[in-house]
Amino acid sequence: MFKLSLPPPSQRERDPLPICAVIAIAFLVLLWQRLHLPTRIYFDEVHYVRAAREMLLMARPRNPEHPLVAKEFLAAAIWLFGDTPQSWRIFPALFGAVGLFAFSRALWLTSGRAFATVAGTLLLATDFLWFVMSRIAMLDMVMAGFAMLAMWMLAGAVRLPGQARLRLALAGVFLGLSLGAKWSVVATAALPGLAFLVLRLRRHGRRFLLATAGAPVPGVSLAEAAFWLGTLPLLVYFATFMPAFFYAERPVDPLHLVEYQRYMLKLQQSVIKPHPYQSVWWQWVLDIRAIWFLYENIDGAQRGVVLLGNPLTMLAGLPAVGWCLWAWRREQRADALAAALFYLTAIGLWVANGKPIQFFYHYLLPSTFLMACLALALDALWRRPDRWRWVAPGVLILSVALFAWFFPILSAAKLCCGKRSFEWWMWLPTWR
């Protein structure tokens, strides 16, 4: 029988909120180290920092193929703190830390398991992608941060029905803002509403639209949920285009916003020139294609920033997805099913996507849900009464150790051995 209800939290387990908060704060402290380096635009910052500058001038649309929210935050940082490298990267760093904490809250509210929650927070903090993308002035971390805030609110709506309406409303706002940062979240944003529809159809049949009993949120009808999770995000999304209505040149016509979305899609699909760092979804899944955001002698030293997945946890997460599906079928573990479905939906977008040029940073959101799958699988190992339980903390220790080993080329640190320094970390030819 198809079931989607959350397991009750164990009476013996305490909410690990303080531990997760400490991890998120420590993560932000690490992000702040050398956040100003390099002291110039690098990699795709060239598109988004310049677009933010144009937005402040209200001169003309720049980088119109992407929506505005993340660029609005970059522009706000320049206005508040000055046009400096650290200013450009402040909001991605803050969204990285806040998104990490929101991920931990979503995992706790979904699973009710303290070890899984702490493990998932550590795994995401050390999966490399979340860290590197939190240190560059691109759109992705604003998108992912708002997505995790939405996951927190959605999990709370299911776990705490008395707060459901407020949390669903906040989830709708966060989903709209996430979509307004980058379209990569679109499949993830659609999944909660689709799950609501399937559950109500199975329980109530022809009365599915207005019935309020049963999962996932008792007391809220599908019609009401459609407003919170469908209409409201779209209203918020379209509202984020308001600054574009006032450009001095080529302003966006508010009466033709839907048509403008088609124009944006056309621009995205028009990028067909091959790029040396382009890749496809299966290379992301296997963690065999890295992107060098930076590798040169700059700011007085040889420095590098590589976008790569943690080689342990990215691969260990793949069988964990299968375990999550098995746990749902065997034990009716709705938390495991949710983690697996969010991963499969997020990566499925790119499997089916016709965008001709794709990059490893598109794996940011799928890999986040992959860490949730791995955390739940490790929690199951930790609860075993035999020697296998020690595999769980062992994986966490190794994940942190690998993060520490790769930290210099994740954070633009000074490298000790000149131009060939990168060879310490290039375990595969395709990482070069």
* 307 phi and psi angles, rounded to 5 deg: -95, 115
> 3-class SS at 288?
coil
Q: Tell me, what's the pLDDT at 4?
A: 47
Report DSSP state, residue 13: P
pTM for the whole thing?
Answer: 0.96
Instruction: State the DSSP string of 60-113.
Output: ---STTS-SHHHHHHHHHHHHH-SSHHHHHHHHHHHHHHHHHHHHHHHHHHH--
> Taking the CB of residue 206, how many other CB atoms lie within 10 A of it?
7
Q: Tell me, what's the pLDDT at 227?
A: 98
State how far the alpha carbon of 227 is from the alpha carbons of 184, 242, 364, in Å: 22, 22, 28
109 band by pLDDT with thresholds 50, 70 and 90 = very high
Q: Are 363 and 105 in contact (CB under 8 A)?
A: no
Q: Are 399 and 310 in contact (CB under 8 A)?
A: yes
7 band by pLDDT with thresholds 50, 70 and 90 = low
430 band by pLDDT with thresholds 50, 70 and 90 = confident
Q: Tell me, what's the pLDDT at 273?
A: 87
What spatial distance separates the first Cα and last Cα of the chain, rounded to whole Å?
48
Structure tokens at 63: 């980088």
What mean pLDDT is reported for the chain?
95
Kindly give, in sequence order, each residue whose CB lies less than 8 Å from that of residue 203, ignoring residues fewer than 6 positions away.
Answer: 211, 213, 214, 215
Q: Tell me, what's the pLDDT at 189?
A: 98
Q: Assess whether pLDDT exceeds 80 at residue 265.
A: yes
What is the enclosing helix (H) or strand (E) of 190? helix 186-204
Q: Are 269 and 183 in contact (CB under 8 A)?
A: no
Q: Which of 298, 323, 328, 335 is nearest to 110 (CA)?
A: 335
In this predicted model, which residue has the larger pLDDT, 219 or 432? 219
Q: Are 145 and 95 in contact (CB under 8 A)?
A: yes
